[in-house]
Amino acid sequence: MEHSNSENPHTLSGSDDLIINPNDCILVTGANGFIGAKVVEELLVSGFMHVRCFVRPSSNLGSINALISRYPGQQVEIFQGNLLSRKDCQMATEGVAVVLNLATGNENSFAGCFMNSVLTLRNLLDAVVEHHVLKRFLHVSSFAVYSNLSLRRGALLDETCPLENRFMERAEAYCYGKAKQEELLKEYAAKCGTPYAIVRPGAVFGPGKSQLTARIGIDTFGIFLHLGGRNQIPFTYVDNCAKAIVLAGLKEGVDGEVFNIVDDDLPDSRTFLREYQSRVGPMRSITIPYWMFYILCYLWESYSERSHGQLPPVFNRRRCAAYWKGNRYSNKKLKSRLGWKPKVSFKESMRLYFNDMTRSKSEHA
C-alpha cells in the first residue's frame, strides 16, 4: 500500500513550530535498529520528504526497503558506513539539518562501549561542526544514566535527578557509554555552539523485542528471578518512543533540554509479569524482595573486592538500586514542552507485544 502526504493533512511537517522545513534532510543513525526503524517510519508518516538512514554495511535492509516501497513519493537514502570512519561521518552528514542519533555500542566492556559509543559520537559531532548547517543534534540516551541512590523508594525520578558518576562501582558498561556520550555532547555545545537536545527512554518494548526488561527480573538457570516486585516499570511502547524522539528533534525552543520518555498508565512489575504468564505462557519464577537482593549484591561486591576482581562485581548495590529500588516516573515535561501524547494506549501496546511474543514462541516451539 502506497502512502503520501495527501492522505494525512495533519502531518507534523506542516506545523509552524518546527526548526526545519519538510524538504530538509534528516539523518537517522541506527536507522535499522528496533527503535531506529520506527523513527524513520514516524518521519515519513509525519510528512518529511528527505530521510537519510545510516546503517552498517552488514545490516539487513528489509525493513527500510519496505518503507521505501510504501512511501515512493519521499526520498529515503540508505547510507552504509562505519561511524568509526571520519570520512563516512563527513559524507553522511553533508547537507543534514537534523541528526537523530540512535546508534550506540552494546558491548559488555568499558573499552568497547567507549569506542562504539563515544568515539563514534565524536566523529559525528566533528562532521556536523565542519559542515555548519546543523539545526539540532538529537541524542538518544537512556534511563541507565541515572543514579537513584539519593532517592527514597517510591520517590519521583525525573529529568532533574543526579546522573551516575561512579562507573566502576556500577560495573555497567552501557551506563558508562551513555553517560560519556552525554558529557561529550554538552562539551561540543559549550565549545562549538552545537545545538542539541537529549531524550532518555525508559524500558522500550514492542513486537520484535523478545526478552522482558531486566527491571522486571533476570532469567537465569531456567528460573526467572522476579526482582521488580510492586515497582512501577518505566515502559514506553516503541511507536510512542519514536514519536517522542521525532518531536524532541524537530520542535523549536527546546535546545539544551532533556526529556524522559515513558508512557501513560505504567503498570507495576508484578501485574505485568502476571499478564505475561497469562497471555504468553507460564514460567518458573521466584520473587526476591529488594532488601534481600540488595544484601546479596553487597556480599557479591565484598567477595569481588577480596578476590581482587577475579569475580567481577556485576551484581552490586548501585546497579541493584538503579534497576530494582522502585521509583515513580513522569512524562509531564514530554507532554508540556513537546505536545507529545501516546500513539498507542498501554493496554493496546501490551496486547500487541504479548501477541507477538506468543507467535514467536509458537514458531520456535
Q: What is the pLDDT of residue 249?
A: 99
Listed in sequence order, the DSSP H helices in 154-287 are 167-170, 173-192, 238-250, 269-279
Q: What are phi and psi of 104, to 5 degrees?
A: -155, 160
- The tens digit of pLDDT for each residue in 187-219 reads 999 999 999 999 999 999 999 998 999 999 999
Residue 293 CA to residue 278 CA, distance in Å, equals 26
pLDDT in tens, the chain (365 residues): 344 443 343 468 767 899 999 999 999 999 999 999 999 999 999 999 999 999 999 888 988 999 999 999 999 999 999 999 999 999 999 999 999 999 988 888 999 999 999 999 999 999 999 999 999 999 999 999 999 999 999 999 999 999 999 999 999 999 999 999 999 999 999 999 999 999 999 999 999 998 999 999 999 888 999 999 999 999 999 999 999 999 999 999 999 999 999 999 999 999 999 999 999 999 999 999 999 999 999 999 999 999 988 899 999 999 999 999 999 999 999 999 999 999 999 999 999 999 999 998 887 76
313 Cβ contact list (under 8 Å, min separation 6): 169, 171, 300, 301, 304, 305
Collapsed DSSP state (helix, strand, coil) of residue 162: coil
| Per-residue pLDDT, 365 | 64
pLDDT single digits (tens) 290-344: 999 999 999 999 999 999 888 999 999 999 999 999 999 999 999 999 999 999 9
Local structure of residue 264 (DSSP, 8 states):
S
**For position 284, what pLDDT does the model report?**
94
**Distance of alpha carbon 215 from alpha carbon 97, whole angstroms:** 36
CB 49 within 8 A of CB 20: no
Which pLDDT does position 360 carry in this prediction?
Answer: 86
Helix segments in 256-316, DSSP class H: 269-279, 290-306
Paired residues of 54 in beta bridges = 29, 79
Number of residues that this document lists for the chain: 365
Q: Could you tell me if 128 and 98 are in contact, meaning their C-beta atoms sit under 8 angstroms apart?
A: no
Would strands 50-55 and 196-201 be described as parallel, antiparallel, or unpaired? unpaired
Q: Are 71 and 3 in contact (CB under 8 A)?
A: yes
CA dist., res. 180 & res. 200, Å (int): 14
Q: Measured between alpha carbons, how far is 351 from 344 in angstroms, rounded to an integer?
A: 11
Q: Given this model, what pLDDT does residue 11 score?
A: 66
The confidence score (pLDDT) of residue 14 equals 67
Q: What angle do CA 34, 106, 275 make, to 5 degrees?
A: 50
What does the block give as the cell for 117? 559509543
Q: Which pLDDT does position 119 carry in this prediction?
A: 97
User: Cα separation of 47 and 365, whole Å?
Assistant: 41
